């Protein structure tokens, strides 16, 4: 627990949007920023447990900051941050797909949105605790490496059929007739 409190203190000393807002509130109220942060986390947790629109709030948490950080990563010269956020979005997309099929059942559980929010925060946590990187390297990447050849064949076949169908609908020559044959 001591390690967690040290990490929280280090986070509160950084300069970012959250800590700047906490500093401003600390200056106005005289309440230490760590107590303000703890209060905000408690209120957020209670709202996720009992509030109306907890699903929307949870999805905003999982989308708003990562979208902002992704734009900053795109604009930065470093490619390491691009990889971190691209990995987050891959895991987020897979989670959203799995959630689509289980949301109706899982949303009835009392702590579902708190757990979902905690999972999304875990996925966007800074290194070395970044859950998206852990899940990608332990689950997504091995599955991808095992099946990417078959998926590529299916996607190429479907895209060829879609182009042929679109050409047939518009009355144009089939794209497969205009392209030279592939060399093997």
pLDDT tens digits, residue range 86-101? 999 999 999 999 888 8
State the residue range of the domain holding 61.
54-108
Q: Return the residue matching tokens 């289980």.
A: 102
What is the predicted pLDDT for the residue at 173? 56
What pLDDT score was predicted for residue 146? 93
Report yes or no on 175 lying in a domain.
no
Whether residue 158 is contained in a domain is answered as: yes
Question: Are 130 and 140 in a shared domain?
Answer: yes
Residues 121 and 89 in one domain: no
Residue after which a domain boundary falls, among 108, 135, 152: 108
Q: Are residues 15 and 27 in the same domain?
A: yes
Query: In whole angstroms, how large is the CA radius of gyration of the chain?
Result: 23
The model scores a pTM over 0.75: no
Q: What is the average per-residue pLDDT within 113-128?
A: 87
Instruction: State whether 58 and 36 are in the same domain.
Output: no
Give domain status of residue 178, yes or no: no
Residue 29 in domain:
yes
pLDDT, residue 66, reads 93
C-alpha span between 43 and 31 (Å, rounded): 16
Q: Does one domain contain both 58 and 104?
A: yes
Instruction: Give a yes or no: residue 167 inside a domain.
Output: no
Asked whether the predicted pLDDT for residue 63 surpasses 90, the reply is: yes
Is pLDDT above 80 for 175? no
User: Which DSSP category does 136 fall into?
Assistant: I
**81 and 93 in one domain?**
yes
Two structure tokens written together for 87: 């990995």
Judge whether 1 lies within some domain. no
- Is 34 within 8 Å of 22 (Cβ atoms)? no
Q: Are residues 66 and 95 in the same domain?
A: yes
State whether 114 and 157 are in the same domain: yes
Is 43 a member of any domain? yes
- Torsion angle (degrees, nearest 10) of CA 155, 159, 165, 170: 160
The verdict on 114 and 103 lying in the same domain is no
Per-residue burial over 96-109, b if 16 or more Cβ lie within 10 Å, else e, is eeeeeeeeeeeeee
What is the number of structural domains in the chain? 3
Note whether 60 and 97 are same-domain residues.
Answer: yes
Query: Would residue 93 count as lying in a domain?
Result: yes
């Amino acid at each position: 627990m001591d390690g967690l409190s040290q990490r929280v203190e280090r986070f509160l000393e950084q300069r970012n949007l959250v800590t700047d807002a906490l500093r401003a509130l600390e200056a106005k109220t005289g309440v230490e920023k760590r107590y303000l942060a703890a209060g905000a986390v408690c209120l957020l947790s209670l709202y996720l447990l009992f509030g109306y629109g907890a699903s929307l709030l949870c999805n905003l948490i999982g989308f708003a900051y990562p979208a902002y950080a992704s734009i900053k990563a795109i604009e930065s010269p470093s490619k390491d941050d691009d990889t971190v956020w691209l990995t987050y979005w891959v895991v987020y997309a897979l989670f959203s797909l799995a959630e689509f099929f289980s949301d109706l059942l899982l949303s009835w559980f009392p702590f579902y949105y708190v757990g979902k929010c905690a999972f999304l925060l875990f996925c966007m946590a800074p290194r070395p605790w970044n859950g998206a990187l852990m899940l990608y390297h332990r689950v997504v990447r091995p599955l991808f490496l095992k099946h990417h050849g078959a998926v590529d064949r299916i996607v190429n076949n479907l895209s060829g059929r879609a182009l042929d169908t679109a050409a047939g609908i518009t009355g144009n020559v089939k794209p497969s007739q205009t392209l030279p044959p592939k060399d093997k």
